[in-house]
Amino acid sequence: MESQIELTPARRYLVQFHPKRIPHTFTDVLIIGGGIAGLRAAMEIDPRLQAIVISKDKLTQSNSAYAQGGIAGVFDPADDIKKHAADTISAGKGLCNKTIVDMVVGEAAERIRELSELGAKFDRIDGEIALTQEGGHSHRRVVHALGDATGKEVIRALVEAVRAQEGVQIWEQTFTIDLLTCEGVCRGALVWNPYHGKTLVWAKQTILATGGAGRLYRETTNPEIATADGHAIAFRAGAELRDMEFMQFHPTVLYIAGGARHLISEAVRGEGGYLRDIHGVRFMSDYDSAMELAPRDVVSRAITDQMAKTHHPCVYLDVTHLDPLLIAERFPHIRKVCMDFGIDITREWMPVRPGAHYMVGGVSVDADSRSTLPGLLAAGEATASGLHGANRLASNSLLEGLVYGRRAGQLASSEALECADRFTAWPLSAQWPPADHQEDELNLDDMRNSLGSLMWRAVGIHRNSSALKEAATQVDFWNRYVSTREFSHPRGWELQNMLLASRLMIAAATERTESRGVHFRNDFPDTEPTLARHIRLHSNATM
């Protein structure tokens, strides 16, 4: 039996609008998000249709663009798709959908070849695609580009391809405030940019591909844009969310006090890097027989426990025993970042600690990317597709974006073609009385920092009932005076989205009274076989 949670968002729409007072735009397909899933979807739009791709920043700013490790796919003759599927299911700890896993990993090689045909320059050895191994994989099957800048190269190729498509517009630096719904169907979105203000974008089909939620946490690998906007707007619109307790923490984030956090790719350990504590002890043998190549949840908890044992704020990643030429070829970006801090990784250890990395849960979608809200499709990190279960296998994220982005684009295109060639503006508006103390200014940066610290402490790598209860009380308190305000800029809307998404994560983490995958409860440290089920979240507000 599935667990069901109902919560009430503070407000259906974040801002007031009246259809006679703001501009309208009409399109066949609206794609919200410019990462790998959104761009791959745009490539499938029939040339007879019009489409708009909306990105709240520049297209180069997405979790996809910052991905280092690569894309998992079977190219080695000694490997096979069944092994890739088995590794994925093993990492998912009983919550993967086998049909979805088989579908996604089965398409991997073809989707990667398509990228290569588009001009993505994957690393090669003697003309063959180079492969590396990462934690949780039984074989070398991770395809990479520019050494450790796979996401950057893939997004470059996709952006060029999408920009060349006739009929596809790209709106950068445009914030999606809310999805528009009427008669239980998604009709498009209310968006804002600094040049035109609010605009109602009416669409026959809408694809949500907004990415992740890492910025809910103080320690994260994610860029500033990853504020769970898609999760929040989908929930307010009435779509079902699922498995929001599963935030994956990456074990190795460069830790320099006062410096920006930088991801240190899984592939560093895949190529033979060692984890050591402050005393030089290679400690992973105390936690898992796979050592540094254990799944991410295991390694993250091991590092956290070792930091506590040694009373030190980090551990160290050691590649000094590897060939300097290999390091220069495979990890040029990581080497440069470390050198900027005065660390020569061919001679010195890298200080690392875990950080929030990938949102496993999200908008519930089926194999064709349909959400539970008619007219809304979704793909990528904003979704819960059944591929990852309770813990994502390394380098399956870009793969999921490719597979589901393609499917979402194909379905949206075919559905839009079947609609009458007539565009409709629905009689929607949102108005309410002024809130009390609307004139009071809030220190949004301070609130975001406070939320990030709370989430890291209470809903982080280790969780328990009392901490989750404290977090729920605190977020509810903040929500009472933040969510009643009407902001006129993205920083305010982002905070409102972050508070809602945090509350959903806290509710799901409280409901799951066991430890499974990336969700670890000190008060329920064992995995309970009877709880191998999903936790579904619904809005109980009147839509």
Give tens-digit pLDDT for 256-291: 877 767 889 888 898 899 999 999 999 999 999 999
CA distance 277 to 415: 55
Confidence (pTM) = 0.93
pLDDT tens across 429-460, in order?
A: 777 776 665 545 789 999 999 999 999 999 99
Q: In the predicted model, what is the mean pLDDT of residues 482-499?
A: 94
Neighbours of 71 (CB within 10 A): 28
The answer to whether the CB of 92 falls within 8 A of the CB of 104 is no
Beta carbons within 8 Å of 440's beta carbon, 6+ residues apart: none
Look at the block and give the residue holding tokens 């923490």: 249
Enumerate domains of the chain plus CATH numbers: 24-71+95-125+146-246+360-418 (3.50.50.60), 247-357 (3.90.700.10)
Look at the block and give the residue holding tokens 């049909």: 99
Measured in whole angstroms, the distance separating CA 425 from the mean position of its chain's CA atoms is 32
What would the two tokens of residue 42 be?
């745009």
Q: In the predicted model, what is the mean pLDDT of residues 413-437?
A: 75
If pLDDT is split at 50, 70 and 90, which confidence band does 478 have?
very high
Q: What is the pLDDT of residue 421?
A: 66
Catalytic center residues:
296
Q: What is the pLDDT of residue 394?
A: 87
Q: In the predicted model, what is the mean pLDDT of residues 309-328?
A: 94
pLDDT tens across 127-139, in order?
A: 888 888 887 899 9
Q: In the predicted model, what is the mean pLDDT of residues 514-524?
A: 96
Q: Which of 162-166, 310-314, 537-541 has the lowest mean pLDDT?
A: 537-541
